[in-house]
């Protein structure tokens, strides 16, 4: 599998996700600079975490309009899988590839800690390494992670099984839902399940030395599904 | 020409920031405060032949970048 | 060119406003051979400020040990550097941003973080970890909450955006900081040992380059403010606060590191305190060359800036470089790619002068050497701190388990989770020991080794007995590093004190430095960088002496390390080292009796070294994975921290005789708690005995409560609730 | 009574947000944009006997909470 990791000015988890992807056998990674209107074909496009363009207007808003995103949107339209993590999720909603929006955390503070998420739909490319209902322990680190969508959109998400992960109770201190997301949503798919956005950082739970490697299953499953 | 853009969260979108500000004001002893809303404000100079075309351009800016219409409403004022 | 010294006549008021004494002004006139103009006066005043010249401390700082075979660069450069093997070096330093953070906590703390990171990447290192040592006023003081919330959001907001994990630090509250909080930020970076960049300019005619953000009227006089005592008027000095832009800092790191991979850079220096002035003068002085600047070429954010403003601006996220001739285009392309300003603003000259032009006008011309070398140096009179009186009457006895609950919830021992959860402490995906333990551990990317780091200081000891306090601060970082299994390498420091013109304050400073020197010497643990912050006083009230120490150590094999969490039911817990139950100056006295009294605990750095090295050997042989040093709060608090971290109960055996309070809460030094399965523990204790280190079994891991034989028990749930609730309650979050 | 508060960075204070937004607008092809400022907006209902006393109270709120007067200026509008 070949993955393209898009690097915006201000991305800061680009290297981390690259390391996690490359730890899977047979995965090659290209780093793609935001200014590139075109880039080599890839089996997977990853939008990493960070503070693209400083996130000064709204998180992800400016990155959503960068030259490379036109190409990402076009390829997503052709079915190329796109994974957005944290800031990448914010970019995907701002770019219209995923419904809804990410608001400031309900607690108004940045939150960095382990959370638990339950796999809500394992019948997708991204979840091929995961079991339905399994609970993963993965860190979050964000200021704007409160998922919001209107009732109509939420109903559609539910009907179409687009909810990927929900925050779940676990042994970590603090509330299970770290940011006040509606319906405890931690990650969602687009209608065709080829685009996934999630707030937690699987690349930070990718190695036993991180204190857990639940996140690595996502990368490993993807690699297997995409060959 | 000079444009002003006011951006507010849509009704129904939680605004914990505004709530926190309201609580803090109450904590400082300011009572009798009703609804409180917090928004963003942009002020910009732009070249345009007339107010209508200036408004159209600024609205386009709002739709494409300045506001996220999933969660925000905007209002444009043009000063000539 | 026509010589022109524009601006008004220099008056006595202007001299005083610039913080120069009559004697110092006379030195300026001597150095120039004439009266300065206003720009020149500004340049002298910032160069000779306490912050830039270390005029009150230089003679004492010289007494600190700075060398060891693994030291690549000691004090004097932007940051200190130690060898960490495999051709790699760790670059680190700590710096204060106390005054700006008091005035505008969020921006003050943020720009402090930005500044210390620049000190590190200037030398060619990628920053890999940030720490912060914070001291606030009393929890119930009117401004404390506002200051804590601003400082924490500033530190987090900056580091999180730049993408460098904030992995540790310390946080204390004491009324002694009501009028002067301390915000000390530390950054650790990693560089290839053979590609380190220095600030000495070289090559007459070489271009001088400005990169980063544009210059505005930010923080003018910041450097002199950082050296001026506060009074109630100082709120008026507000507009001198700078605003940080972490996004630009991130771009600047990437652009600088990209250019550093080429051979374009001859010398580089960040623009920190006193901005363009300090950076250009230091680069020229270190290289023994002159420098010529054209201010019209400096990228400017505001119109009509004067030469004075441009030279003294403390706008953030800017760097000054000297490039190899002909490298400008390549370098420009790198900075333009990262959307940063790039401008050739001058060149190096052979006349040994700083010459500044604005258009056709020469606005300043000063010989460089005197600007640095003629800076005043003071041997300030000092008074030794009198020895503390004996411990007052002990007061009514408090049941140890009751005292434990109180201590676990007291602001200085309560969980700092509310703080560190606002810091991204995992970005870069190399954090292997998160905040909450003795030292943070960050893997050296792509290797099986790691750096350990900790910041420490116990100001109540420093105030009672500065020499012991200075030594103890050094020793405590050393002990924290040892406790995770790291070989301590070196320290950085941030010496925070009151007004050095007062002999009793100078006495604290001298005492602390003497103690630090003794500890560093005994531990083979040199000082490689540091910073001094003086005049931390408001209305004549000085802060407690606070020499914050940042220690760095190396773990050779990540799989052989320890942390504080109890890991297995049935493990035996042993005390390594011994004590007499010393209660003077303890948190127990302060929190339960409101008394900050008595002598400090005895400290013998040579003995510390023997005990610590014995513990370190146990960890390095892979037999010990659970260890915690005993410091603030004493043995029972340390044991409880281990239980909470592991989520496992612990049954402790009480001593048969003697004072239970001293046993439980005494702060005797050179002690650790260790835990291991019984079969392993036998071997560990045998090794310690063979090394003549006292060690004895004191308990066993079991259940879900902390039990002290004969004194009852408290459930972990109850202890955890007390421990976790304090900060959120203080901050109004719960 | 209804009050509006406009808060802007003081002139000369670095405003990285406005800079970034200006760049992004230019990147989207909106040219001819001059100075751009970004600020905060509060709108609140409050009880007050007259406009002058409402203004005084809201100004007090600005000084004490809504604005960070170290780096920001504010302007109060009262609508009756
Ligand atoms: N401001 C802070 N930022 C991040 N971590 C902090 C901060 N203050 C304290 N900590 C963390 O909390 C833990 C307890 O701190 P401290 O009591 O100083 O430890 P010790 O007693 O081992 O020196 C440490 O892991 C420390 O790194
Ligand atoms: Mg410590």
Could you tell me if residue C111 is inside a domain? no
Separation CA C549–CA C495 (nearest Å): 8
Separation CA C607–CA C193 (nearest Å): 33
Mean pLDDT of chain A: 95
User: Quick one: C579 and C700 in the same domain?
Assistant: yes
Q: Which residues contact B9 (CB under 8 A, 6 or more apart)?
A: B15, B18, B37, B38, B39, B71, B72, B73
What are the tokens at C585? 């100056």
Separation CA C498–CA C509 (nearest Å): 9
Q: How far is the CA of C733 from the centre of ligand 1 (A)?
A: 20
Separation CA C165–CA A16 (nearest Å): 13
Interchain contact, A104 vs B68, CB within 8 Å = no
pLDDT at C493: 98
pLDDT-based confidence at residue C237 (cuts at 50, 70, 90): very low
Q: What is the pTM of this model?
A: 0.94
In 3-state terms, what secondary structure has residue C505?
helix
Average pLDDT over residues C521-528: 98
Q: Which residues of B touch A107 (CB under 8 A)?
A: 16
Q: Which residues of A touch D20 (CB under 8 A)?
A: 53-54, 56-57, 62
Locate the ligand 1 atom nearest the alpha carbon of residue C133 and give its number.
1
Facing residue for A65 by CB, picked from D16, D17, D24: D24
What are the tokens at A212? 């857990």
Q: How many CB atoms lie within 10 A of CB D11?
A: 10
User: Is D48's pLDDT higher than 90?
Assistant: no
In 3-state terms, what secondary structure has residue A113?
strand
Separation CA A176–CA A137 (nearest Å): 11
pLDDT at C734: 42
Name the strand (E) or helix (H) holding A204: none
Separation CA D12–CA D33 (nearest Å): 19
Last residue of a domain, one of C344, C375, C406: C375
Interchain contact, A110 vs C156, CB within 8 Å = yes
User: Quick one: C288 and C413 in the same domain?
Assistant: no
Mean pLDDT of chain C: 94
CA-nearest of C31, C61, C57, C55 to C44 is C31
CA-nearest of C495, C460, C468, C462 to C633 is C460
Please write the tens of the pLDDT for every residue from C685-718: 999 999 999 999 999 999 999 999 999 999 999 9
Q: How many CB atoms lie within 10 A of CB C676?
A: 25
User: Quick one: C576 and C703 in the same domain?
Assistant: yes
Please write the tens of the pLDDT for every residue from C641-678: 999 999 999 999 998 878 899 999 999 999 999 999 99
User: Quick one: C219 and C355 in the same domain?
Assistant: yes
User: Is C300's pLDDT higher than 50?
Assistant: yes
Q: How far is the CA of C473 from the centre of ligand 2 (A)?
A: 9
CA-nearest of D62, A112, D70 to C240 is D70
ipTM value of the model?
Answer: 0.93
Q: Strand A195-198 to strand A111-119: parallel, antiparallel, or no bridges (unpaired)? A: unpaired
Name the strand (E) or helix (H) holding A212: none
Dihedral of CA atoms C6, C9, C10, C13 in degrees, nearest 10, equals: -130
How are the residues of chain B apportioned to helix, strand and coil, as percentages rounded to the nearest 5? 35, 40, 30
Per DSSP (E only), the strands in chain D are: 2-9, 33-46, 72-79
In 3-state terms, what secondary structure has residue A116?
strand
The CATH number of whichever domain residue C592 belongs to comes to 3.90.650.10
pLDDT-based confidence at residue C231 (cuts at 50, 70, 90): low
Locate the ligand 1 atom nearest the alpha carbon of residue C629 and give its number.
22
pLDDT at C223: 46
Whether the CA torsion A49, A50, A53, A57 is positive or negative: it is positive
User: Quick one: C304 and C409 in the same domain?
Assistant: no
Query: Is there a contact between C207 and C328 (Cβ–Cβ < 8 Å)?
Result: yes
Separation CA A62–CA A57 (nearest Å): 7
User: Quick one: C258 and C403 in the same domain?
Assistant: no
User: Quick one: C339 and C416 in the same domain?
Assistant: no
pLDDT at A81: 98
Could you tell me if residue C125 is inside a domain? no
How are the residues of chain C apportioned to helix, strand and coil, as percentages rounded to the nearest 5? 35, 25, 40
Could you tell me if residue C43 is inside a domain? yes
Please write the tens of the pLDDT for every residue from A163-197: 999 999 988 778 999 999 999 999 999 999 999 99
Min Cα distance D48 → chain A (Å) is 31
Query: Is there a contact between C61 and C293 (Cβ–Cβ < 8 Å)?
Result: no
C617 to A199, C27, C69, C313, C610: CA distances (angstroms): 42, 56, 21, 51, 11
Separation CA C664–CA C638 (nearest Å): 10
pLDDT at C228: 53
Cβ of residue D70 closer than 8 Å to a chain C Cβ: yes
For ligand 1, atom 18, the nearest C-alpha belongs to: C170
Name the strand (E) or helix (H) holding A170: none
Question: Is C218 or C279 the better-scoring residue by pLDDT?
Answer: C279
Cβ of residue D13 closer than 8 Å to a chain C Cβ: yes
Separation CA C594–CA C246 (nearest Å): 42
User: Quick one: C249 and C354 in the same domain?
Assistant: yes
User: Is the CB of residue C173 below 6 angstroms from any atom belonging to ligand 1?
Assistant: no
For ligand 1, atom 27, the nearest C-alpha belongs to: C168
Could you tell me if residue C213 is inside a domain? yes
Average pLDDT over residues B27-35: 87
How many structural domains does chain C have?
Answer: 2
pLDDT at A37: 79
CA-nearest of C717, C448, C700 to C560 is C448
Q: How far is the CA of C429 from the centre of ligand 1 (A)?
A: 20
pLDDT at C235: 40
Q: Strand D72-79 to strand D33-46: parallel, antiparallel, or no bridges (unpaired)? A: unpaired
**DSSP-assigned letters across all residues of C393-457:** ---S---HHHHHHHHHHSTTTS--HHHHTTS--STTS-EEE-TTSSSEEEEPTTSS-EEEEEEE-
Strand partners, C211: C319, C342
Q: How far is the CA of C435 from the centre of ligand 1 (A)?
A: 7
Query: Is there a contact between C499 and C44 (Cβ–Cβ < 8 Å)?
Result: no
What are the tokens at C204? 């007459």
User: Is the CB of residue C214 below 6 angstroms from any atom belonging to ligand 1?
Assistant: no
Domain that includes residue C711, residue range: 396-428+562-734
Min Cα distance A64 → chain D (Å) is 10
In 3-state terms, what secondary structure has residue A135?
strand
Separation CA D32–CA D25 (nearest Å): 10
Min Cα distance A26 → chain B (Å) is 39
Whether the CA torsion B45, B50, B51, B55 is positive or negative: it is negative
Please write the tens of the pLDDT for every residue from A193-221: 999 999 999 999 999 999 899 999 999 99
User: Is C236's pLDDT higher than 50?
Assistant: no
What are the tokens at D45? 């209902």
- Tokens 């944290």 identify what position? A86
Please write the tens of the pLDDT for every residue from C444-480: 999 999 999 999 999 999 999 999 999 999 999 999 9
Mean pLDDT of chain B: 91
- Tokens 């040579």 identify what position? C606
Domain covering A2-226 in this structure, CATH number:
3.40.50.880
Domains of chain B from N-terminus onward = 2-79 (3.30.1280.10)
User: Quick one: C371 and C400 in the same domain?
Assistant: no
Q: What's the 3-state SS for C291-349?
A: EEEEHHHCCECCCCCCHHHHHHCCCCCEEEEEECCCCHHHHHHHHHHCCCEEEEEEEEE
pLDDT at C553: 98
For ligand 1, atom 25, the nearest C-alpha belongs to: C436
Separation CA C227–CA D1 (nearest Å): 48
User: Quick one: C423 and C294 in the same domain?
Assistant: no
Q: Strand A135-142 to strand A82-85: parallel, antiparallel, or no bridges (unpaired)? A: unpaired
């Amino acid at each position: 599998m070949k993955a393209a990791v898009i690097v915006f000015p201000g991305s800061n988890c680009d290297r981390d996700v690259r390391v996690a992807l490359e730890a899977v056998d047979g995965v090659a990674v290209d780093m793609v600079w935001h200014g590139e209107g075109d880039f080599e074909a890839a089996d997977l496009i990853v939008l990493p975490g960070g503070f693209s363009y400083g996130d000064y207007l709204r998180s992800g808003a400016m990155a959503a309009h960068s030259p490379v995103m036109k190409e990402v949107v076009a390829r997503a339209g052709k079915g190329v899988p796109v994974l957005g993590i944290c800031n990448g999720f914010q970019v995907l909603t701002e770019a219209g590839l995923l419904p809804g929006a990410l608001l400031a955390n309900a607690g108004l503070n940045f939150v960095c800690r382990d959370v638990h998420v339950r796999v809500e739909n394992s019948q997708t490319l991204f979840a091929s390494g995961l079991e339905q209902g399994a609970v993963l322990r993965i860190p979050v680190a964000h200021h704007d992670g409160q998922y919001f969508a209107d009732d109509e959109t939420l109903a559609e998400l539910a009907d179409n099984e687009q909810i990927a992960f929900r925050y779940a109770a676990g042994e970590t201190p603090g509330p299970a839902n770290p940011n006040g997301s509606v319906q405890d949503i931690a990650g969602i798919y687009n209608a065709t399940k080829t685009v996934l956005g999630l707030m937690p950082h699987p690349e930070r739970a990718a190695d036993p030395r991180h204190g857990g490697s639940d996140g690595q299953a996502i990368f490993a499953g993807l690699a297997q599904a995409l060959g | 020409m000079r444009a002003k853009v006011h951006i507010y969260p849509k009704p129904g979108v939680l605004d914990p920031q505004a709530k926190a500000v309201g609580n803090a004001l109450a904590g400082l002893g300011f009572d009798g405060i009703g609804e409180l809303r917090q928004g963003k404000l942009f002020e910009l100079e732009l070249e345009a032949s007339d107010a209508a075309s200036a408004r159209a351009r600024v609205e386009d800016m709002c739709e494409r970048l300045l506001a996220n219409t999933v969660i925000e409403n905007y209002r444009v004022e043009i000063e000539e | 060119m026509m010589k022109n010294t524009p601006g008004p006549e220099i008056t006595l008021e202007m001299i005083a406003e610039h913080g120069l004494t009559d004697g110092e002004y006379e030195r300026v006139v001597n150095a120039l051979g004439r009266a300065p103009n206003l720009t020149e006066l500004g340049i002298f005043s910032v160069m000779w400020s306490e912050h830039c010249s270390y005029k009150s401390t230089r003679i004492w700082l010289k007494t600190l040990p700075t060398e060891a075979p693994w030291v690549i660069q000691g004090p004097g450069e932007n940051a200190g550097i130690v060898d960490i093997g495999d051709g790699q070096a760790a670059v680190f330093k700590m710096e204060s941003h106390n005054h700006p953070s008091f005035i505008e906590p969020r921006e003050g703390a943020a720009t402090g973080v930005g500044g210390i990171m620049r000190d590190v990447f200037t030398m060619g290192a990628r920053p890999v970890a940030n720490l912060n040592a914070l001291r606030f006023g009393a929890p119930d003081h009117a401004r404390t909450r506002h200051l804590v919330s601003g400082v924490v959001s500033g530190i987090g907001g900056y580091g999180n955006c730049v993408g460098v994990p904030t992995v540790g630090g310390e946080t204390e509250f004491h009324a002694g900081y009501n009028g002067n909080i301390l915000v000390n930020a530390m950054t650790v970076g990693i560089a290839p040992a053979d590609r380190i960049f220095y600030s000495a300019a070289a090559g007459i005619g070489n271009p001088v380059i400005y990169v980063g953000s544009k210059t505005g009227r930010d923080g003018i006089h910041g450097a002199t403010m950082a050296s001026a005592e506060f009074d109630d008027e100082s709120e008026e000095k507000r507009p001198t606060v700078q605003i940080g832009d972490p996004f630009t800092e991130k771009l600047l790191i990437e652009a600088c590191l990209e250019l550093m991979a080429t051979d374009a850079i001859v010398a580089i220096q960040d623009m920190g305190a006193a901005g363009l002035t300090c950076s250009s003068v230091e680069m020229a002085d270190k290289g023994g060359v002159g420098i010529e600047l054209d201010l019209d070429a400096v990228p400017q954010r505001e119109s009509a800036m004067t030469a004075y403003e441009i030279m003294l601006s403390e706008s953030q996220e800017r760097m000054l470089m000297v490039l190899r001739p002909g490298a400008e285009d390549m370098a420009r392309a790198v900075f333009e790619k990262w959307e940063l300003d790039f401008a050739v603003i001058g060149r190096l000259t052979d006349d040994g002068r700083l010459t500044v032009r604005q258009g056709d006008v020469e606005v300043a011309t000063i010989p460089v050497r005197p600007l640095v070398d003629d800076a005043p140096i003071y041997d300030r009179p000092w008074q030794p701190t009198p020895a503390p009186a004996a411990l007052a009457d002990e007061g009514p006895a408090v049941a140890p388990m009751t005292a434990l609950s109180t201590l676990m919830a007291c602001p200085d021992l309560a969980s700092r989770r509310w703080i560190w959860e606002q810091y991204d402490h995992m970005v870069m995906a190399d954090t292997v020991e998160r905040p909450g333990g003795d030292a943070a551990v960050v893997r050296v990317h792509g290797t099986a080794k790691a750096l350990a780091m900790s910041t420490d200081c116990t100001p109540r000891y420093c105030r009672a007995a500065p020499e012991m306090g200075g030594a103890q601060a050094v020793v405590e970082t050393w002990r924290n590093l040892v406790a995770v299994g790291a070989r301590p390498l070196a320290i950085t420091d941030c010496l925070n004190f009151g007004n050095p013109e007062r002999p009793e304050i100078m006495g604290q400073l001298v005492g602390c430095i003497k103690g630090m020197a003794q500890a560093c010497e005994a531990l083979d643990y040199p000082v490689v960088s540091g910073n001094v912050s003086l005049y931390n006083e408001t209305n004549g009230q000085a802060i407690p002496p606070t020499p914050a120490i940042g220690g760095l150590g190396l773990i050779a094999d990540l799989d052989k390390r320890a942390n504080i969490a109890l890991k297995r039911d049935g493990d035996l817990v042993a005390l390594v080292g011994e004590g007499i139950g010393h209660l003077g100056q303890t948190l127990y006295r302060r929190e339960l009796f409101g008394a900050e009294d008595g002598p400090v605990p005895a400290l013998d750095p040579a003995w510390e070294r023997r005990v610590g090295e014995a513990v370190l050997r146990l960890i390095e042989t892979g037999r010990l994975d659970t260890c915690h040093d005993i410091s603030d709060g004493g043995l029972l608090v340390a044991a409880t921290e281990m239980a909470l971290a592991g989520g496992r109960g612990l049954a402790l055996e009480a001593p048969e005789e003697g004072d239970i309070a001293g046993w439980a809460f005494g702060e005797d030094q050179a002690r650790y708690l260790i835990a291991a399965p019984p079969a392993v523990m036998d071997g560990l204790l045998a090794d310690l005995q063979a090394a003549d280190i006292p060690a004895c079994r004191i308990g066993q891991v079991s259940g879900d409560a902390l039990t002290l034989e004969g004194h009852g028990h408290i459930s972990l749930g109850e202890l955890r609730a007390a421990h976790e609730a304090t900060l959120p309650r203080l901050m109004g979050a719960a």
